C-alpha cells in the first residue's frame, strides 16, 4: 500500500510513489494489534498534513458534547488547564476555551497547528513523548484534564508516548483517550481502517497493560459509535481515588473470548475483505458498461486502502470530491483518482455517489437528501455493498 494521506499532484505521477507492506499482527499476550512495519512518524505528519478535523459537522457535534460532559463529570472550573495531545486545528480545545478554561495543544504538523493558533489556541508544534512532556512541565504546565483523541493509533513508540502522560498527570487529574476499537473493526469488516498511519489497534486489555507500565491505570470505559466503533478510556495515576467501574471490569472479562475468536478467524476475515473489494469492483464495472455515472464522496485515508485493494482507478471511479481545500486538485495515492471540490457534482450530476468516509454515514445521507430526491443513489462499500 502507498502512504494513505500522501495525496499527490498530477504532474508528480512520473516521479513514482513508495509502497510498503501492510501486515497486521496481534499479540496474544497483551492483546495489542500493531503493524509489522515501523515507518518514521514524519512519513505521515509533516508541514503539509492534509487532515483537518473541522471539516466534519458530526465530529464537531460529538466533540462539543464530550467537552460539556467532561466539564460536568470532572467539575472543571473557569481557569482550569485542559491540555490536548494531537490537538489538530484546535477544534476540541476551542469548546473548552469558550467555556472559560485555559487550553494548551500539542500538534506535530505545522500547518495544522498554525490553523489552531489562528483560533487563539496556544499550540506547541512537537511530537508528544517524555521529552516534550518534560519541557511542558518545566514551563509550568499542570493540567487538570488531558485529552488524547484518535492519536494512540498513530504513535510508533507507545512507551515513550505513555510516559509523557505519566509525567504531566498529577494527583487526581485525568486523561481520556478515544481510539478505534479493534473488535468493532473486525466485527464490521472495517479493513480500510488499516493503513500505515495507524501503527496500533486497541482493545481495553492492551490499554490497561500499556498504562500499567508507567504508573497509570484505566478505571472506566465508554463505547462510542464514532469511526465505526471506538472506546473512550478514563486514565488516572495509580494512587488516585477513582475506583474501577463495574462496566470496565466486565468488559475486560468479555474481551478475552472475543479477542481469541477474532484472531483465530483471521482467514475468514481475509475472505470477507476480498468479497467487499470484489463486490465494489463489479458494481463499478457494471455501472460503467451501462453508461451510468459514478462519483466518489470524500478522500479520507481509508479510501487509499479500499481503492488500492479493490484496484479501482479513475477508469472505474472518474473522481471523488472533498470539502477540504488542501485535498482538492490532488490524486489519491496509488490509484490516482482525482479529488475535486464538491461543486463539481452540480455539473456532472452522477447517478451514484460512492461514500468513502462511511463513518459519517448519517451526516452524509442528510447532506445528500435533495440529490436523492432527484434520483441520485448513495453507495456504501463497507461492511458490504449497499445502495441507498
Whether residue 113 is found in the same domain as residue 234: yes
Q: Between helices 158-168 and 204-212, what is the axis angle to 10°? A: 70
For residue 67, the SS3 value is helix
Handedness of CA 175, 181, 163, 151 (dihedral sign): negative
Whether residue 89 is found in the same domain as residue 106: yes
| pLDDT for position 42 | 65
d(CA 298, CA 71): 33
Whether residue 289 is found in the same domain as residue 156: no
| pLDDT for position 38 | 81
- Per-residue pLDDT tens for 279-319? 999 999 999 999 999 999 999 999 999 999 999 999 999 99
Q: 238-248 burial, b if ≥16 CB within 10 A, otherwise e?
A: eebeeeeeeeb
22 backbone φψ class: left, alpha, beta (φ>0; ψ -120 to 50): beta
CB of 61 within 8 A of CB of 69?
Answer: no
- Cell numbers representing residue 178 in the block: 478515544
CB of 387 within 8 A of CB of 378?
Answer: yes
Whether residue 160 is found in the same domain as residue 300: no
Whether residue 102 is found in the same domain as residue 180: yes
For residue 380, the SS3 value is strand
Question: Which of the listed residues 198, 232, 264 is the one where a domain comes to its end?
Answer: 264
| pLDDT for position 41 | 65
Contacts of 172 (CB under 8 A, 6+ apart): 236, 240, 241, 242
Q: Is the pTM of this model over 0.85?
A: yes
Question: Which of the listed residues 264, 283, 316 is the one where a domain comes to its end?
Answer: 264
Whether residue 245 is found in the same domain as residue 280: no
Domain carrying residue 305: 271-387
| pLDDT for position 227 | 85
Whether residue 224 is found in the same domain as residue 323: no
Whether residue 324 is found in the same domain as residue 179: no
Tell me the pairing of strands 386-387 and 377-380: antiparallel
Tell me the CA distances in angstroms from 40 to 43, 45, 127, 196, 197, one per residue in order. 6, 9, 12, 10, 10
Whether residue 67 is found in the same domain as residue 101: yes
Contacts of 137 (CB under 8 A, 6+ apart): 167, 168
- Cell numbers representing residue 167 in the block: 509525567
Query: How is 271-284 classified by DSSP, letter by letter?
Result: HHHHHHHHHHHHHH
- Output the 3-class SS for 73-134: HCCCCCCCEEEEECCCCCCCHHHHHHCCCEEEEECCCHHHHHHHHHCCCCEECCCCCHHHHH
Number of domains comprising the chain: 2
Whether residue 149 is found in the same domain as residue 235: yes
The torsion angles phi and psi of 36, rounded to 5 degrees, stand at -70, -30
Whether residue 136 is found in the same domain as residue 226: yes
Whether residue 24 is found in the same domain as residue 158: yes
Instruction: Identify the segments of the chain with pLDDT beneath 50.
Output: 45-51
Question: Which of the listed residues 237, 264, 291 is the one where a domain comes to its end?
Answer: 264
Domain contains 74:
yes
| pLDDT for position 46 | 43
Task: Identify which of 311, 320, 305 has the alpha carbon closest to the alpha carbon of residue 281.
Answer: 311
Amino acid at each position: 500500500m502507498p502512504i494513505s494521506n500522501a495525496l499527490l499532484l498530477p504532474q508528480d505521477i512520473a516521479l513514482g510513489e513508495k509502497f510498503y507492506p501492510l501486515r497486521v499482527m496481534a499479540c496474544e499476550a497483551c492483546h495489542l494489534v500493531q503493524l509489522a512495519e515501523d515507518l518514521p512518524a514524519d512519513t505521515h505528519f509533516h508541514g503539509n498534513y492534509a487532515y483537518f478535523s473541522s471539516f466534519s459537522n458530526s465530529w464537531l457535534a460529538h466533540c462539543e458534547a464530550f467537552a460539556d460532559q467532561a466539564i460536568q463529570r470532572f467539575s472543571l472550573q473557569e481557569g482550569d488547564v485542559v491540555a490536548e495531545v494531537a490537538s489538530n486545528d484546535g477544534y476540541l480545545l476551542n469548546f473548552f476555551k469558550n467555556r472559560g478554561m485555559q487550553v494548551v495543544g500539542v500538534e506535530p504538523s505545522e500547518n495544522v497547528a498554525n490553523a489552531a493558533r489562528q483560533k487563539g489556541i496556544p499550540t506547541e508544534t512537537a511530537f508528544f513523548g517524555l521529552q516534550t512532556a518534560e519541557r511542558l512541565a518545566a514551563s509550568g504546565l499542570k493540567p487538570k484534564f488531558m485529552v488524547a483523541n484518535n492519536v494512540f493509533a498513530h504513535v510508533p513508540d507507545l512507551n515513550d508516548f505513555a510516559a509523557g502522560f505519566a509525567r504531566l498527570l498529577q494527583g487526581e487529574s485525568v486523561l481520556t483517550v478515544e481510539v478505534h476499537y479493534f473488535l468493532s473493526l473486525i466485527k464490521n469488516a472495517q479493513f480500510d481502517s488499516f493503513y500505515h498511519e495507524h501503527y496500533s489497534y486497541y482493545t481495553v486489555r492492551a490499554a490497561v497493560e500499556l498504562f500499567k507500565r508507567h504508573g497509570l491505570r484505566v478505571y472506566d470505559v465508554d463505547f462510542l459509535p464514532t469511526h465505526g466503533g471506538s472506546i473512550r478510556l478514563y486514565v488516572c495515576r495509580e494512587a488516585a481515588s477513582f475506583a474501577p467501574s463495574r462496566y470496565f471490569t466486565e468488559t475486560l472479562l468479555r474481551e478475552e473470548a472475543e479477542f481469541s475468536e477474532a484472531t483465530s478467524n483471521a482467514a475468514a476475515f481475509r475472505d470477507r475483505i476480498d468479497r467487499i473489494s470484489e463486490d465494489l469492483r463489479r458494481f463499478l464495472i457494471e455501472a460503467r458498461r451501462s453508461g451510468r455515472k459514478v462519483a466518489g464522496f470524500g478522500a479520507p485515508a481509508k479510501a487509499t486502502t479500499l481503492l488500492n485493494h479493490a484496484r479501482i482507478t479513475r477508469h472505474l471511479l472518474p473522481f471523488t470530491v472533498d470539502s477540504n481545500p488542501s485535498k482538492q486538485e490532488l490524486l489519491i495515492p496509488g490509484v490516482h483518482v482525482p479529488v475535486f471540490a464538491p461543486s463539481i457534482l452540480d455539473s456532472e450530476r452522477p447517478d451514484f455517489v460512492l461514500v468513502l468516509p462511511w463513518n459519517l454515514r448519517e451526516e452524509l445521507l442528510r447532506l445528500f437528501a435533495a440529490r436523492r430526491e432527484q434520483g441520485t443513489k448513495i453507495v456504501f462499500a463497507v461492511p458490504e455493498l449497499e445502495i441507498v
